[in-house]
């Protein structure tokens, strides 16, 4: 398998800093929670939070989407629920990538159901061409073509998450 760099560490740092500034401007004055969607978003979330110039709580959610080729039912199950009270808060859902849109749609619905006053979504990567359901994130790091990417939290069979940049995996 071959790997080529798609997004460099310098590009990541610059874009994450820009996103942090924008989010700070938008959420200033709210009681905010960053909700990191495990596991891939951990890397992006910690970098992003350090670029946000206001106090922000941190919580985690984990979802699993079951959609193999034969049963692409699009069912998303919540594996780990957040611990913090969401009622009346501004919740920023932080994802590493949006593909079909199913995970983000489900997490968004779930957090609205928990009574959050404001729900915003930030994704490091967006693959708009892979959507099965319509979903637009409020903050997008990079929009990419539908190719298999690894690194900066993104895995292939649990490998490569700790690569510092984003690479494309090809045969």
Q: Give me the residues that bind ligand PRP (CB under 6 A), please.
A: 37-40, 65, 95-104, 155
Check if the beta carbon of residue 35 is closer than 8 Å to that of residue 60: yes
Minimum CB distance to ligand PRP smaller for 8 or for 77: 77
The structure tokens 């969401």 sit at 86
Helix, strand, coil in percent for the chain, rounding step 5? 25, 35, 40
**Token pair of 137 as six digits:** 């994130």
For 39-83, strand residue ranges (E) read 57-66, 75-80
Give 8 or 64: the residue with its C-beta nearer to ligand PRP: 64
Residue 105 C-beta: closest distance to ligand PRP, Å: 8
Q: Which of 26, 99, 126, 134 is catalytic?
A: 99
- What is the 3-state secondary structure of 42-54? HHHHHHHHCCCCC
Which one, 22 or 65, has the nearer CB to ligand PRP?
65
Q: How far is the CB of 119 from ligand PRP (least distance, A)?
A: 16
Q: Considering the complex, what minimum distance in angstroms separates the CB of residue 137 from ligand PRP? A: 10
Among this protein's residues, is 99 annotated catalytic?
yes
Active-site amino acid positions: 99
């Amino acid at each position: 398998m071959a790997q080529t760099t798609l997004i460099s560490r310098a590009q990541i740092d610059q874009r994450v800093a820009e996103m942090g500034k924008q989010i700070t401007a938008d959420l200033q004055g709210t009681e905010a929670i960053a909700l990191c969607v495990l596991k891939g978003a951990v890397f992006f979330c910690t970098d992003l939070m350090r670029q946000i110039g206001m106090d922000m709580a941190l919580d985690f959610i984990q979802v699993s989407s079951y959609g193999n080729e034969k049963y692409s039912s699009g069912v998303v199950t919540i594996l780990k629920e957040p611990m913090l009270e969401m009622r009346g808060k501004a919740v920023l859902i932080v994802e590493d990538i949006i593909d079909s849109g199913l995970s983000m749609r489900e997490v968004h619905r779930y957090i609205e159901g928990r009574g959050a006053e404001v729900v915003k979504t930030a994704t490091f990567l967006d693959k708009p061409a892979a959507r099965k359901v319509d979903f637009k994130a409020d903050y997008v790091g990079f929009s990419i073509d539908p190719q298999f990417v690894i690194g900066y939290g993104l895995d292939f069979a649990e490998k490569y998450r700790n690569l510092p940049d984003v690479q494309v995996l090809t045969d």
